Amino acid sequence: MTKEESVLEKLVSLCKRRGFIYQGSEIYGGLAGTWDYGPHGTTLKNNIKQLWWQMFVTERADMFGVDAAILMNPQVWEASGHVAGFADPLIEDAKTKERFRLDHILEDNGIDPTGMSLKEMSAAIEEKGITSPKGNPLGAPQSFNMMFQTAIGASEDSASISYLRPETAAGMFVNYKNVVDSFHPSMPFGLAQIGKAFRNEIAPRDFVFRTREFEQMEIEWFCHEREWETHFEAWRAAMHTWIEAIGLSREKVHELEVGDEDRAHYSKRTIDFEYDYPFGRKELYGLAYRTDHDLRAHQEASGAKLEYFDQDSGEKYLPHVVEPSFGLDRTVLALLSDAYDEEVVDGGETRVVMRFARAVAPVEVAVLPLMRKPELTEKAHAVYQLLVGTYRTHYDETGSIGKRYRRQDEIGTPLCVTIDFDTLEDDAVTVRNRDTMTQERIAITELATYLATD
């Protein structure tokens, strides 16, 4: 096992132990590619979403939030090209019939499949004599459409076919006209959405990095064609500001200018923001210039007029689109990876600590009575009530104080407030810092102010 694989295994274990992420349907043996977020994982996700919404929607006058339905008219996906071309390369173990992503098989055998056609990937498999992970011959490759198909209504015929959306962007494009008609926004402006998307991944892997159900935070920024480069650079800078705001290590984030042969068909320019995950450098976010491809496709397919009329200039045109796209689950995994740390403390003990930025930490303050004594727990509950309305506060009285400190370290709690017997005399508490493990005595009357400025 490599060091990187070991870190990922430790993360998976910690996430289950501390209530961040559980295997989906675990008591029934699980379901590949699905994960359930526990109490602390849910809070971590919500903190990310709330911060993203505040930064990109609430604090801007030129952004409009939407929440489009997961199920859409199937013509949407025909117009967008997903029905005909949303596919991954698939290959089977000829003996077991187990299916694998062909490009993943090549990557695992030291071959970069970037830019390779299905035919070229097949040739590489044959030339190198590559077998399945179980050592069996591989069958003929094929394309596999990743959309989950479902039926709407009681009948099951072609008219009832629909799909679970494979992306959130389409919901914004089909609501572009509604927002323009309702709010008459000045150009440029954006639509923003946080929501679920679904892809029938052939081989989900790497924890929550590649799953069949995931959540996206996306913006479609509408502008005049002649201004797209200016807006592209502005969103590029905004994405770096976001990365800093959530506390990701800047040195672990890298920009990749995607070449012509690797860009999506709708994109004229794409930058991938990659992160150094425990399993390698992989895509975290994307920034794409989608031209007017989407609005034009939906205008032609639906017959609706989607041109924007500029009342100041009298010009009518189809807006072009710059799309900053943020994967929520990949953000969670990046933050977990970034925060994880092990250090040897006094006595030779190895301390595991999650060094989350306070802005996203599931718990900001833990309130801990030194012992489980009525007089201490009563005072601790009073301190908890003092803080809980302002800070993400957790109360814990189970186990020794040392074990509780280590528990909070693994949760990533920046500050612990301990109520001891001296508190009953001086009305002060001990505040412990997660990162330095230093302790400071603070009067309860000054506690709220101290925590606000720490």
pLDDT at res. 274: 97
Q: Give dist(CA 291, CA 301) in Å, integer.
A: 17
* pLDDT computed for residue 127 by the predictor: 86
199 three-class SS: coil
**C-alpha neighbours within 13 Å on the C-beta side of residue 413:** 27
Task: Provide the pLDDT for residue 2.
Answer: 56
User: Quick one: residue 334, left, alpha or beta (phi over 0 = left, psi -120 to 50 = alpha)?
Assistant: alpha
Cα separation, 53 vs 192, whole angstroms: 8
| pLDDT on residue 133 | 87
Alpha-carbon distance of 310 to 317, in angstroms, equals 8
Helix (H) or strand (E) holding 275: strand 269-277
Q: How high is the pLDDT of residue 339?
A: 97
| pLDDT tens profile 296-309 | 999 999 999 999 99
Query: Rounded CA gap, 87 and 409, in Å?
Result: 43
pLDDT value at position 85?
65
Domains of the chain, residue spans? 3-86+146-336, 363-453
b/e per residue 221-241 (b: at least 16 CB within 10 A):
bbbbeeebeebbeebeeebee
Q: Residue 284 class from Cβ within 10 Å (0-12 exposed, 13-18 middle, 19+ buried)?
A: buried
Q: Give, for all 454 residues of the chain, the pLDDT tens digit.
A: 455 558 899 999 999 999 999 999 999 999 999 999 999 999 999 999 999 999 999 999 999 999 999 999 989 988 988 876 667 788 888 888 888 888 888 988 989 887 788 888 888 888 888 999 888 898 888 877 788 988 888 766 666 788 999 999 999 999 999 999 999 999 999 999 999 999 988 888 899 999 999 999 999 999 999 999 999 999 999 999 999 999 999 999 999 999 888 787 788 999 999 999 999 999 999 999 999 999 999 999 999 999 999 998 999 999 999 999 999 999 999 999 999 999 998 878 899 999 999 999 999 999 999 999 999 999 999 999 999 989 999 999 999 999 999 999 999 999 999 999 999 999 999 999 999 999 999 999 999 899 988 6
Q: Which token pair is 319?
A: 């807006």
Q: Is 335 helix (H, G, I), strand (E, B) or coil?
A: helix
The CATH architecture annotation of domain 3-86+146-336 reads 2-Layer Sandwich (3.30)
Q: What is the pLDDT of residue 149?
A: 87
What's the rounded Cα separation, in Å, for the pair 327 and 306?
28
Q: Which of 48-86 are b and which e, b meaning 16 or more Cβ less than 10 Å from the residue's Cβ?
A: bbebbbebbbeeeeebbebebeeebebebbebbebbeeb
| 339 CB-side CA count, 13 A | 30
Q: Give the E-state strand segments of 70-128 in sequence order.
A: 87-92, 99-101
At 156 the pLDDT is 67
Decide if 179 contacts 191 (C-beta within 8 A).
Answer: yes
Rounded distance between C-alpha atoms, residue 247 and residue 226, angstroms = 35
Instruction: Give residue 160's pLDDT.
Output: 77
At 6 the pLDDT is 87
**CATH architecture of the region 363-453:** 3-Layer(aba) Sandwich (3.40)
Which pLDDT belongs to residue 240? 98
- Please tell me the predicted confidence (pLDDT) of residue 3: 59
Taking the CA of residue 103 as centre, how many other CA atoms within 13 Å lie in the half-sphere pointing to its CB? 15
